[in-house]
Amino acid sequence: MSNYAFIDAQNLYYGIKSLGWKLDYRKFRIYLKEKYNVETAYLFMGKIAEYKHLYFALQKVGFRLCYKEVTITKDGSVKGNVDVELVLQTMIDYHNYDKALIVSSDGDFCCLVNYLYNRDKLKLVMSPHINTCSIFLKKAAKEKIIFLDTLRIKIEYKSKNKKAPH
């Protein structure tokens, strides 16, 4: 068996963006595979028709996309919370992986992280930044948490006159 990653895509994207750099999703997928033996990496995200090229690019580098239909509010902002879908998929696949990696800073995942931790099914929580990570998530993950800002040199997108998937 192997490990699975369950990634809150919006939290990951905005967390890295707030640090002032872009994530190279291809490098990140390779890092997950080589460092943590992640065979399956789910990306949970809202589905917006105009980002079809992005979805294709993410699938091409090895992510499994799990979409949630979004709603557009009166002020034009997009709403598409994927927390329930991420938790549900983690439990559906529970017997298919050795350990789970949860990628988010969202404290809403505390129950899931506690559950996995107490059953020795949590490999790691990966949060974009220590300052934006929920204190409750940090407590739930205990020693099994890292912050992606410390991995910038390994997973940052470097422009080669091509657009980064974002």
DSSP designation for 163? P
> In CATH, what number is assigned to the domain containing residue 61?
3.40.50.1010
* pLDDT score, position 72: 80
- pLDDT > 90? residue 161: no
The type of residue at 91 is M
Element (H or E) spanning 44, and its range? strand 38-47
In order of 16, 23, 63, 105, 152, the CA distances from 166 in angstroms are 11, 8, 13, 18, 16
Cα–Cα distance for residue pair 152/144, rounded to 1 Å? 19
Cα–Cα distance for residue pair 53/56, rounded to 1 Å? 5
* pLDDT score, position 33: 97
| Average pLDDT, integer, range 49-66 | 93
* pLDDT score, position 79: 73
CB within 8 Å of 75: residues ≥ 6 apart: none
Q: Which residue range is the domain that position 27 belongs to? A: 2-100
Domain annotation covers residue 151: no
Find residue 8's DSSP bridge partners.
44
Domain annotation covers residue 118: no
Whole-structure pTM value:
0.91
Domain annotation covers residue 6: yes
Domain annotation covers residue 117: no
Domain annotation covers residue 70: yes
